Every structure is written in structure tokens, then in C-alpha cells.
Amino acid sequence: MRNSRPDILAFQDHVIIPDPDAPTLHMAELYGNDNPLEVDIGSGKGRFLIARAHKHPDVNYLGIERQLGRVYRTAKKADHRGLTNIKVTQVEARLGLSEMLPDESVTTFYIFFPDPWPKRRHERRRLVSQPFLDLLHSKLAPRGCIHFATDHKDYAEATAIVFGDDARFSSIPPFEPSEDELTDFELIFTAQSKPTNRLSIQKQ
């Protein structure tokens, strides 16, 4: 039987395989420079990440994604475009952030269209919560930002409460991606005439 598992090692320059014995990443060694680090949580197939990295070669980008196939696609795109400032890893978001990222190492987090878990009994499974915001705060550099987007109105309202109740952050104008930076999910929702709700906050 043919093995359909994508060979992510074919693009190993762009893929981080977590080391359980030494999980914390050393960014300067990993990227070969001390440029600012921006992290896309749930980076999907990499449309936003690729476009952003192409425009900002002086910024390092890390994509965190659970699905191996999406990691493979992003790494392949980065390799084909010759982008040296992108890395992507297959890991659950909370685990990846808590174990892999040094404290105060990230200038920007992007959280675009996370699973809204629309049923009330499933709301506790949503990514954005006060404990998760505590984790992001510990990893953000001073004045670092968090940009959030969802098509789900209830999730946006719940996130606005979590963000607004935390005095360690201040509200800033929402981040607006350019057309080429829109995620695959946003393109689908826009075609369905679903509005996007955006929120941005900055660490004090």
C-alpha cells in the first residue's frame, strides 16, 4: 500500500520537529539572526504566513499547526519561493507555546479563525480563554500585540470580554490584512457573505 503520509523532511529547512528532551527553541540559532519573531497560531495552509513573510524579510515567522498535511503545504510553498524567514511545526497550540517558545520572545501573535466550537456545551474547548491569554502574555515581548479574527459573532464577543477584562493589555485598532494575506478560511467566509470580526490588543 502506498504511504500517503507527506514527507515533511523534504523541506526540513522550514520544518521544526519538536524535541521532547529539549523543547525550547533558540531563535537566533534557528533562524540565523536576531530579527523579531511573529507567530501564526493555527497557520493552516500558510496563505497568510507566506504572503506576510514575503513582504517582510526582516521578520522571522513561525507557524503552529496541528495538521501534518497543512504543515507540509506551508513548508513546500516557503521552499519553492525561497523564503528563509519561515518555520512551521506540527504541535497543539497550548503545548507548543508553553514548551517551545522562550518567555518574551514574540512581538506578534496572529489567531485567525480558530475553531469557534459553536455549541454551548463545547465553549470550554475554545482556544481563547483567560488561561490562554496568560500564556500569550508570558511569551510576548513588551508592547507585543495579539491579532484575532473570526467569522463567529458569539466567539468574537466572548473574546472581546476576555481581552477587555485584562488590564495588562490595551485595545488597539484591529489588524487588517491585505487581500493577498487573507486566509483560506476568510476567503471562503467572504464568498458566503459572512463578515469578519477583528480584535487587536497590545501588551502594556
Give catalytic status of residue 115 as yes or no: yes
Q: Which residues of 163-192 are buried (b: 16+ CB within 10 A; e: fewer)?
A: beebeebeeeeebebeeebbbebbeebeee
Q: Is 163 left (phi over 0), alpha (psi -120 to 50) or beta?
A: alpha
Separation between Cα atoms, residue 123 and residue 126, nearest integer Å: 6
Which of 103, 115, 154, 165 is flagged as catalytic?
115
Q: Are 127 and 111 in contact (CB under 8 A)?
A: yes
Reading the block at residue 162, the C-alpha cell is 476576555
Q: Are 39 and 62 in contact (CB under 8 A)?
A: yes
Q: Are 114 and 44 in contact (CB under 8 A)?
A: no
Report the catalytic residues. Answer: 115
